[in-house]
Chains A and B, each alone.
Chain A
Amino acid sequence: MTNWVRACAADEIDEEDLIRWDHEGHVYAIYNTEKGFFATDGICTHEHQSLDEGLVIGCVIECPLHGGRFDIPSGKALSAPVCVDLATYPVRIENGEVFVATG
């Protein structure tokens, strides 16, 4: 059974940007990209840096600490120093609200 949890209003996230969402002790990043809304783990897999101050460039998130990049839809690590992918979570938009499948 998918556990859909309301995370935020869709208009809380600017276009080509992300927010940090803390839920039950876990940090998520929720993105508004040119291809829609996505959610991943919110902490870089390289050095435990929160991604929320990173830059969204198209469908790529760049970590603010060392510039490692991940593909947002797939969570795939694109360029060193990041080597481990980010976990991703399904997202749906209902009535202007962002829901994330947390488990």
Chain B
Amino acid sequence: MPDYVPTNAASSGVTLDKKLLKQIAARSDRPGLVYLARWAAALIATGALVWLTRGTLWLWPAMFAYGTVLTVPAYAFSHETAHGTAFRSRWLNEAVLWLTSLIYMEEPLHRRYTHTNHHTFTWHVGKDSQMPFDTPMGFGGWLAEVTGFGLLRFHMAVMVRLAFGRYSDVMRDVTPAGEFPRMTRNARVFLLIYAAIAALISAGQLWPLWFLVLPRMLGAPVMLLFTLTQHVELQENSPSILDSTRSFRTSLLGRFLYMNMNNHVEHHLYPQVPFHALPTLAKAIEAQVPEPDPGFWRTNAEVFGVVLRRSLGLSTRAPSIRQAPHMITEGGRVERIAQRTM
């Protein structure tokens, strides 16, 4: 018997009829393939803008639009395939996991097993290996998180360690031992591909700069504004996902880019449910979970206001988003609860 209680629906007191859950969680290749086609179409459309605006200042907004379409779905697809829920066919899951993790810049199996750990110990200090910022968050933490440089540095350090076969205690703790050779091989291949891209640019080929490097950098903040909302300002060390995790409303475009992962409470309660079925799941359990927070922009604006005021020693009560009780103070010194683990 395990000596822990995993954080999920059971630990959160949420129930769903078993037959209905299995209907909702049923796997199919079709929704993932349709998503893949739509993503490719969006990349071609925004990529055409990049091509057409070369040599003008419009290149930068075009690269931002293309970079957002490249980076946010790459993150979301990498996450979904790490769960193995995007497709019914295992080989499709694994192929898309590999490709999207290459864009997201994290070794695919490191992504899978640290994320499995994140689900087992969601937002538990010292146990969750995917806490990307210190809590409570201040302005410096927000800046490090949203620019993407903190995360990129972490993932590159992991990649180099894996490539050299140096496995940290956390890696050994969360990963089945038999997977390390594959992780090392993946990390070496990823580093070779990144080196080849750098070599092309050094040799005067600028297309990787316009279509890969700069768009990936410009799209990262949008991706990170999505992921930031998942647990920020919520309760550490709670067995209940309802305390530790946030869902928020967003537009059709937001739901597409993020693969419905704005239903984040629902995803953590039942991680076996595929992305395309999350709205159905949300409807089925809406009476048992908190109301989703307001839209993407408003939620992020409120988070930004809170972290800025916290760093200035002012009141940290947000106008409408959910906050754990200890996150709301009238100012003064803030005691750190969690140290970032990624």
A89 to chain B, nearest CB (A): 22
- Would you call A36 an interface residue if the criterion is a C-beta within 8 Å of the partner chain's C-beta atoms? no
A53 to chain B, nearest CB (A): 6
Mask of B1-21 contacts with A, CB within 8 angstroms, 1/0: 110001010000000001101
CA of A65 to CA of B7 in the docked complex: distance in angstroms? 10
Question: B27: which A residues are within 8 A, CB to CB?
Answer: 55, 57
Which residues on B sit within 8 Å (CB–CB) of A47?
2, 6
Give a binary string over B101-128; 1 marks a CB under 8 Å from any A CB, 0 the rest: 0000000000001001001100000000
A55-B25, A66-B116 known; A79-B90 Cβ under 8 A: yes
Specify the chain A residue showing the minimal Cβ separation from B88: A57
B299 smallest CB distance to A (angstroms): 29
Q: For B6, what are the chain A residues with a Cβ–Cβ distance below 8 Å?
A: 47, 65
- Report if A96 contacts B (CB, 8 A): no
Which one, A53, A67, A69, A80, contacts B178 given CB within 8 A?
Answer: A80
B22–A83 CB distance below 8 A: no
B142 to chain A, nearest CB (A): 32
Assuming the contacts A47-B2, A80-B178, asked whether A67 and B26 have C-beta atoms less than 8 A apart, the reply is no
Interface bracket on B: 20 to 34
A37-71 at interface with B (beta carbon < 8 Å) = 47-48, 52-55, 57, 62, 64-67, 69
Considering the complex, give the chain B residue whose CB is closest to the CB of A78.
B90
Bound together, the chains give a CA A77 to CA B113 distance in angstroms of 17
- The answer to whether residues A83 and B176 also contact, given A55-B27, A57-B27 and a CB cut-off of 8 A, is yes
Q: Are B272's CB and A64's CB within 8 A?
A: yes
Judge whether B22 and A55 touch: CB under 8 Å. Answer: yes
CB of A72, distance to nearest CB on chain B (Å): 15
| Min C-beta distance of B81 to chain A, whole Å | 11
Q: Which residues of B contact A (CB under 8 A)?
A: 1-2, 6, 8, 18-19, 21-22, 25-27, 83-85, 88, 90, 113, 116, 119-120, 176, 178-179, 271-272
Give the interface of A toward B (CB within 8 A).
14, 17, 47-48, 52-55, 57, 62, 64-67, 69, 79-81, 83
* 7 closest residue pairs by CB, A with B: A80-B176, A47-B2, A48-B1, A81-B176, A67-B84, A66-B116, A80-B179
